[in-house]
Amino acid sequence: MAASKEFSLLCLENPLLDIQAFANEEILNKYGLKANDAILAEEKHIPIYEELLNNFDAKLIAGGAAQNTARGAQYVLPPNSVVYVGGVGDDKYAAILRDAVKQVGLRVEYRVDPKAPTGRCGVVITGHNRSLCTELGAANLYDIDHLKSPEIWKLVENADFYYVGGFHFTVCPPAIMALAEEAAAKNKTFVVNLSAPFIPQFFKEKLDASSPYWDYIICNETEAAAYAGSHGLENIAEDIPAIAKALANLPKKNTQRPRVAVITQGTNPTLVAVQDQDEVKQYPVHVIGADKINDTNGAGDAFAGGFVAGLVQGKNIDTAVDMGQWLAALSIQELGPSYPFPKQTY
């Protein structure tokens, strides 16, 4: 059913500032990064931020995977449709984030920690790949007390759709579970994005506790393979349609709606499996010329933003996927996880 009230979509994850540069393989090798990956920074990675700023003319761009998705959904939806929660510091980087969300009219309710810096993500662009290296800072201090505070919980109760970025499994699983349970209890829609291969691999237990609550599970092909490899599905780890089916048919708590698994595959077709249905549908992507691609940082987040906006508008799956692909194609043409202005309409 279409939601017409305000703030029907609530998103949760880690607000970050992206320090993004077009760079080279040398810097990937120096810091032991893969060309296309997302990791948590260790001690040895910390100098990369200064190096990107000083030697590669890095730009500061609003990031944080689910914050990008929330901005994308709000870009598509009428004013006052989306609210986003996560943790930031009280600093210059947080001010940049607040400016960026204002541009699309996204409401943010940050937990502000005066003692920790806003999180940052080094983004190394090489060709059409992007390597993400994150120091969470204040984002890591997000806590259930913030979500359960009367002002924020009122927003939770008001919303009909929850979107959780999988990266938040490294931060505050109790907050994720609170949204999951609220959704199941009131037959609301709970959407999770796997976010990165390391989430199913190294945060398996927390992730698996949430899986019965997934109404929609979104990931890309690499994350799907990592899920299979870490969940006893090694035999189908290279068969992405089979993984889509397996995800759709995991045990489900709220049986009033079937689970839908959505797997993006870069320029290859997007796959959709629905619980108890045999067919895995394929949706070719919106093709854009290679010369029009700026970078792919945030492409998956933009897809999720368009897709979830479609759900909020009560569109069917075919249209929601098309909206996701449309918004991803727009974002790829911008610098970082951004959307074009003047605003385009779907």
Q: How far is CA 340 from CA 5, 75, 83, 230, 301, in A?
A: 26, 9, 20, 38, 15
Q: In terms of CB distance, is 38 or 94 closer to ligand 26A?
A: 38
Please report whether residue 331 would count as binding ligand 26A according to CB under 6 A.
Answer: no
Beta bridge partners of 22: 125
* Binder of ligand 26A out of 85, 121, 179, 246 (CB under 6 A): 121
Q: How far is CA 205 from CA 140, 220, 308, in A?
A: 19, 20, 26
Binding segment toward ligand 26A, per CB under 6 A, in 13-21, 144-152, 257-265, 318-326: 13-21
Write down the residue that tokens 């093709």 correspond to.
287
Binding-site size, ligand 26A (CB under 6 A): 22
60: which DSSP letter?
E
Distance CA 1, CA 312 (A): 8
Q: What is the CA radius of gyration of the chain?
A: 18
Please report whether residue 309 would count as binding ligand 26A according to CB under 6 A.
Answer: no
Please report whether residue 192 would count as binding ligand 26A according to CB under 6 A.
Answer: no
Please report whether residue 298 would count as binding ligand 26A according to CB under 6 A.
Answer: yes
In the range 44-63, which residues lie near ligand 26A by CB under 6 A?
63
* Binder of ligand 26A out of 10, 38, 179, 180 (CB under 6 A): 38
Please report whether residue 132 would count as binding ligand 26A according to CB under 6 A.
Answer: yes
* Binder of ligand 26A out of 18, 160, 182, 295 (CB under 6 A): 18
* Binder of ligand 26A out of 9, 10, 13, 252 (CB under 6 A): 13
Element (H, E) at 199: helix 198-202
* Binder of ligand 26A out of 167, 214, 216, 227 (CB under 6 A): 167
Number of residues that this document lists for the chain: 346
Q: Is 276 a catalytic residue?
A: no
Among candidate residues 113, 160, 215, 301, the one labeled active-site is 301
**CA 14, 123, 301 angle in degrees (round to 5)?**
50
Query: What are the residue numbers of the active site?
Result: 301
